[in-house]
Homo-oligomer: A and B are copies of this chain.
């Protein structure tokens, strides 16, 4: 049983906490919060032990009527591994604290790659992650790209990938972010950092990325072009993607046209928070012209890295193989969407969190 702590109970942290708590081979020891807001209340209501992320704020929680079990230092002493889910850049400040406690750490993609011994994606990382004492789960966008580029390269060979990322401006609760009513090149320089971040996982893939941000909160949208080494049929590519457990191909007849309907569908299936852990690829967009593959996919920025964090924990502190870890994570969470509407109703039986 791996004892896990989650430092930071925000958008990612609360989902990682739920995912860890759902694993039969893991124990969620506790989570931290910097202040006693609704998120802290929710942690307590879920039965999670709450720790003050900042030492001198224990009284603030108690005054608000929320009981804390201690501070971050106490949590670090009680766990085998800490998952840092602090805002971007704070992980770097937390690293010396984890090291002082000799606690292996999983970081998020908002940190520089140098924060950890290796960057991590369960489908695409090489064997170098096995020896790492710390891991960094790459960002939601890099996760989504790695998941499709790895199998495409293995099966058809990738000569070059060119991707335009239309990123969401903020998460649904981030009301103070922009843009409003505009689409902003961000950065206006090309390539963006996303390509190099994918190369932290797949160093041999030639990839350029161009990034925009849009006034939406639901999901990121990728317009993907991959020039392949070979000329597979469109159906061969669709078939390959259908084999990936963390890629969901949206059937045309489902009537799902964007992030709103995708999350509505996820909620309809009983998924907590309407989360989509899988890349969501519009099946009819998957098109091959000569050696050029095109597709649109959506990536749920709040959710797709969550199963990757679970697998990173196992990679860091257990001997469980990567494939076995992915299978366990998928099983425990219900990762792996197959629509009944695919192929005229011959889709596989669904796997949902309720099963």
Contact = CB atoms under 8 A, between A and B. Distances in A.
Interface stretch (A153-161, A171-179, A184-192, A195-203): A171-179
Contacts of A41: 254, 339-341
Given A181-B181, A253-B64, A261 B346 contact: no
Given A45-B350, A255-B37, A268-B39, A175 B261 contact: yes
Interface stretch (A124-132, A205-213, A269-277): A269-277
A171 B63 CA distance: 38
Interface string A337-355: 0011101111100101000
B175 A260 contact: yes
Contacts of A273: 267, 274
B352 A37 contact: no
Contacts of A255: 35, 37-39
A265 interface: yes
Interface string A46-64: 1000000000000000011
A302 to B, nearest CB: 10
Contacts of A39: 255, 268
A68 to B, nearest CB: 12
A273 B38 CA distance: 18
Contacts of A45: 268-269, 340, 350, 352
Contacts of A152: none
Contacts of A341: 36-38, 41, 64-66
Given A45-B350, A341-B65, A173 B264 contact: yes
A79 interface: no
Nearest to A63: B344
Nearest to A349: B45
Contacts of A339: 38, 41
Contact of A261 (B14, B38, B66, B180): B38
A260 B174 contact: yes
B36 A253 contact: yes
Interface in A215-261: 217-218, 253-258, 260-261
Contacts of A345: 64-66
Best-surrounded residue of A263, A339, A344, A345 (most CB of chain B within 10 A): A345
Contact of A270 (B37, B64, B267, B272): B272
A65 B272 CA distance: 26
Nearest to A65: B345
A295 interface: no
Given A36-B341, A175-B261, 16 more contacts: A37-B254, A37-B255, A38-B254, A38-B261, A38-B268, A38-B339, A45-B269, A45-B340, A46-B268, A66-B345, A171-B260, A173-B264, A175-B257, A181-B181, A217-B260, A267-B273
Interface of A: 14, 35-39, 41-42, 44-46, 63-66, 171-175, 180-181, 217-218, 253-258, 260-261, 263-265, 267-270, 272-274, 339-341, 343-347, 350, 352
29 contacts: A36-B253, A36-B341, A38-B254, A38-B261, A38-B339, A39-B255, A39-B268, A41-B254, A41-B339, A41-B340, A42-B265, A42-B268, A45-B268, A45-B269, A45-B340, A46-B270, A64-B253, A65-B341, A65-B345, A65-B346, A65-B347, A66-B341, A171-B260, A172-B218, A172-B263, A173-B264, A174-B260, A267-B273, A274-B274
